[in-house]
Chains A and B, each alone.
Chain A
Amino acid sequence: MELRTNELTKKYGSKTAIDHLNVTLSNGVYGLLGANGAGKTTLMRLLCDIQTPTSGKITLDGKDILGLGEKYRALLGYLPQHFGYYPDFTAMDFIMYVAALKGLGEKQAKNKAAELLEAVDLTKESHHKIKTFSGGMKQRLGIAQAMLNNPHILILDEPTAGLDPKERVRFRNLISAFSKERIVILSTHIVSDVEFIAEEIIMMKSGRVLQFGKPQEITAEIDGYVWECTVPSNRAEQYTETLNISNLRNTENNNTVLRVIADCQPMGNAKQVPPTLEDLYLFYFKGVSKE
Chain B
Amino acid sequence: MKNLIKFELRKILTKRFTIISIAAVLLLSFVLSFATFHNMYAFDGKSNEGSGRTAVEIDKSIAEKYEGVLTNEKIQQIMADFKPTHDLHGMNAQYLYQNAMQSAAFARFSDMNGNWNGSSISDVFGDEEIKIGYVNGWLNTSQNIARVLIALSFVIILMIAPVFSGEYSGVDNIILTSKYGKTKCTTAKIIASILSALLVTILTVAFHLMLAFVLYGTEGLDCSILFAPQEFVEGYIPFNITCGTVLKYQLILALSSAISVTGITLILSALCKSQMVTFAVSCAIYVMPIMLPIPETSPLYRIIVLMPLYHSQYISIISVEQMKNSMLYAIWAIPTAIILITFGMVISRRIFTKHQVS
Q: Which A residues fall within an 8 A CB radius of B?
A: 45, 48-52, 69-70, 73-74, 76-78, 80, 82-86, 88, 96-98, 100-103, 106, 145, 149
Q: Across the two chains, which residue of chain A brings its CB closest to B5?
A: A100
Interface centre among B14, B178, B357 (most CB of A within 10 A): B178
Is B179 a contact partner of A50 (Cβ separation < 8 A)?
A: no
Using known A-B contacts A101-B185, A106-B3, determine if residue A86 contacts B178 with beta carbons closer than 8 Å: no
Is B178 a contact partner of A101 (Cβ separation < 8 A)?
A: yes
Using known A-B contacts A73-B179, A86-B11, A97-B7, determine if residue A145 contacts B174 with beta carbons closer than 8 Å: yes
Using known A-B contacts A73-B182, A83-B170, A84-B170, determine if residue A101 contacts B175 with beta carbons closer than 8 Å: yes
CB distance from B211 to the nearest CB of A (A): 32
Q: Is B171 an interface residue (CB 8 A)?
A: yes
CB distance from A71 to the nearest CB of B (A): 9
Is A78 a contact partner of B177 (Cβ separation < 8 A)?
A: yes
Q: Is B272 an interface residue (CB 8 A)?
A: no
Instruction: List 7 A-B pairs, minimum CB-CB distance, nearest first.
Output: A84-B170, A80-B173, A101-B178, A84-B171, A50-B357, A78-B177, A74-B179
Chain A positions within 8 Å of B185 at CB level: 101
Is B179 a contact partner of A70 (Cβ separation < 8 A)?
A: yes
Chain A positions within 8 Å of B179 at CB level: 70, 73-74, 101-103, 149
Q: Is B248 an interface residue (CB 8 A)?
A: no
Among A45, A49, A82, A101, contact of B170 (Cβ-Cβ < 8 Å): A82
- CB pairs A–B below 8 angstroms (20 shown): A45-B357, A49-B176, A50-B356, A50-B357, A52-B356, A70-B179, A73-B177, A73-B179, A76-B177, A76-B178, A78-B173, A80-B170, A85-B170, A86-B11, A97-B7, A98-B174, A100-B180, A101-B178, A102-B179, A145-B174
Using known A-B contacts A88-B15, A101-B179, determine if residue A80 contacts B356 with beta carbons closer than 8 Å: no
Using known A-B contacts A52-B356, A88-B14, A88-B15, determine if residue A101 contacts B181 with beta carbons closer than 8 Å: yes
Binary flags per residue of B114-153, CB closer than 8 Å to A gives 1, else 0: 0000000000000000000000000000000000000000
Q: Which B residues fall within an 8 A CB radius of A?
A: 3-4, 7, 11, 14-16, 167, 169-183, 185, 355-357
Q: A69 to B177: give the CA distance in the assembly, Å.
A: 10
Q: Across the two chains, which residue of chain B brings its CB closest to A78?
A: B177
Is B357 a contact partner of A85 (Cβ separation < 8 A)?
A: no
CB distance from B57 to the nearest CB of A (A): 49
Q: A76 to B176: give the CA distance in the assembly, Å.
A: 11
CB distance from A74 to the nearest CB of B (A): 4
Chain A positions within 8 Å of B355 at CB level: 50
Is B180 a contact partner of A102 (Cβ separation < 8 A)?
A: yes
